[in-house]
Amino acid sequence: MTHAEILAHPAAARSAGGEPLLAIAGATKSFEAKGRPTLALDDVSLTLARGEFVSLIGPSGCGKTTLLNLVAGLTAPDRGRVSFGGRAVNGPNTQVGYLTQDDAVLPWRSVLGNVMLPLEIRRVPKPERRERARAMIRRVGLEGFESHYPGQLSGGMRKRMSLARTLVYSPDFLLLDEPFGALDAQTRVLMQRELLGIVRDLNLTVMLVTHDLHEAIALSDRILVFSRRPARLIDTVTLPQPRDRDPLHRSRADEAVHRRLWDKLAAELEAGPGGGGTGGGGHAP
């Protein structure tokens, strides 16, 4: 297998024994809430190889966003290690693009102004800032809307803008926290297709949190299933390679994976507070 072929096939890169781009080892994290500790992550270990697309699924409130925050370096684990590119993450990880769940946009800034923001923070000279922002706005299909304000955009267009802002400083690792959750079904499929195209073109490594099992199946190389809080990794599904897929096409193998994921999640949801052997007992609900 040539080097180019290895790069084109993330699974091959994994088996080629390359150093993982991201490694989380034994991460445990709790929060203080109303004077009581809440365990959010319980001994989570995982790795991502360069070029992989990995989705995280799990019950609401289990700790998925907390895990992304660890990778982004916005919070630190109580125990365990997070390393990125072979180095420990000890503060904000500037090598990742993070499209957060609340997706904060600045309503008083135009599309161009919003997309340029990360470049301003990085003190990129103004002409270059504009040029790069305009190129990324074009890439996400928002050309012609540069001077619109967020309030004048549809939900799908706002997501495109946020994606452009996340990608404008050329990170090669993307954290996406339920990026398309609020969109209607058709817009969501369009955005999934475009995301796949962008990920392929820009050679991105992606960690996606989603509640949409079909989305996880359509986009991912691997799906990680987490328990109810505190999040523990309870299942890993590796999808067949290569992943040149259409989010609208569902194969029988996809349906089988969907059933497996759903069964796992249903078992977690039915377990109820403190039950189900998920290690959730003894913590605040």
Ligand X SMILES: Nc1ncnc2c1ncn2[C@@H]1O[C@H](COP(=O)(O)OP(=O)(O)OP(=O)(O)O)[C@@H](O)[C@H]1O
Options 55, 66, 192, 227; binder of ligand X; rule CB under 6 A: 66
> Considering CB distances under 5 to 8 angstroms, the limit depending on partner class, which of ligand X, Mg ion, none binds residue 113?
none
Could you write out the DSSP letters of every residue in the chain? --HHHHHH-HHHHHHTTPPPSEEEEEEEEEEEETTEEEEEEEEEEEEE-TT-EEEEE--TTSSHHHHHHHHHTSS--SEEEEEETTEE--S--TTEEEE-SS----TTS-HHHHHHHHHHHTT--HHHHHHHHHHHHHHTT-TT-TT--GGGS-HHHHHHHHHHHHHTT--SEEEEESTTTTS-HHHHHHHHHHHHHHHHHHT-EEEEE-S-HHHHHHH-SEEEEEPSSSB-EEEEEEPPSP----TT---HHHHHHHHHHHHHHHHHHHT-TT-TTSS-TTS--
Span of 9-17, 101-109, 167-175, 214-222 interacting with Mg ion by CB under 5 A:
101-109
Q: Identity (one letter) of the amino acid at 203?
A: N
Q: Is 62 in the site for ligand X (CB under 6 A)?
A: yes
Q: Is 61 in the site for ligand X (CB under 6 A)?
A: yes
Span of 61-69, 79-87, 159-167, 199-207 interacting with ligand X by CB under 6 A:
61-69
Omega cis (within 30) before 59: no
Span of 42-50, 60-68, 132-140, 167-175 interacting with ligand X by CB under 6 A:
60-68
Paired with 209 in beta bridges are 56, 177
Q: Which residues contact 195 (CB under 8 A, 6 or more apart)?
A: 163, 176, 179, 219
> Considering CB distances under 5 to 8 angstroms, the limit depending on partner class, which of ligand X, Mg ion, none binds residue 95?
none
Q: Is 65 in the site for Mg ion (CB under 5 A)?
A: yes
Question: For residues 38 and 110, which CB has a smaller minimum distance to Mg ion in the complex?
Answer: 38
Q: Is 2 in the site for ligand X (CB under 6 A)?
A: no
Q: For ligand X, what does the binding mask look like between residues 12 and 41, x meaning CB under 6 A?
A: -------------------x-x----x-x-
C-alpha–C-alpha distance, residues 117 and 103, integer Å:
14
Question: For residues 38 and 47, which CB has a smaller minimum distance to ligand X in the complex?
Answer: 38
Options 60, 91, 125, 282; binder of ligand X; rule CB under 6 A: 60
Q: Is 69 in the site for Mg ion (CB under 5 A)?
A: no
Q: For ligand X, what does the binding mask look like between residues 220 and 259, x meaning CB under 6 A?
A: ---------x------------------------------
Q: For ligand X, what does the binding mask look like between residues 87 and 106, x meaning CB under 6 A?
A: --------------x-----
C-alpha–C-alpha distance, residues 194 and 139, integer Å:
9
> Considering CB distances under 5 to 8 angstroms, the limit depending on partner class, which of Mg ion, ligand X, none binds residue 156?
none
Question: For residues 141 and 181, which CB has a smaller minimum distance to Mg ion in the complex?
Answer: 181
Question: For residues 133 and 174, which CB has a smaller minimum distance to ligand X in the complex?
Answer: 174
Q: How many residues bind ligand X (CB under 6 A)?
A: 14
Enumerate binding residues for ligand X (CB under 6 A).
31, 33, 38, 40, 58, 60-66, 101, 229
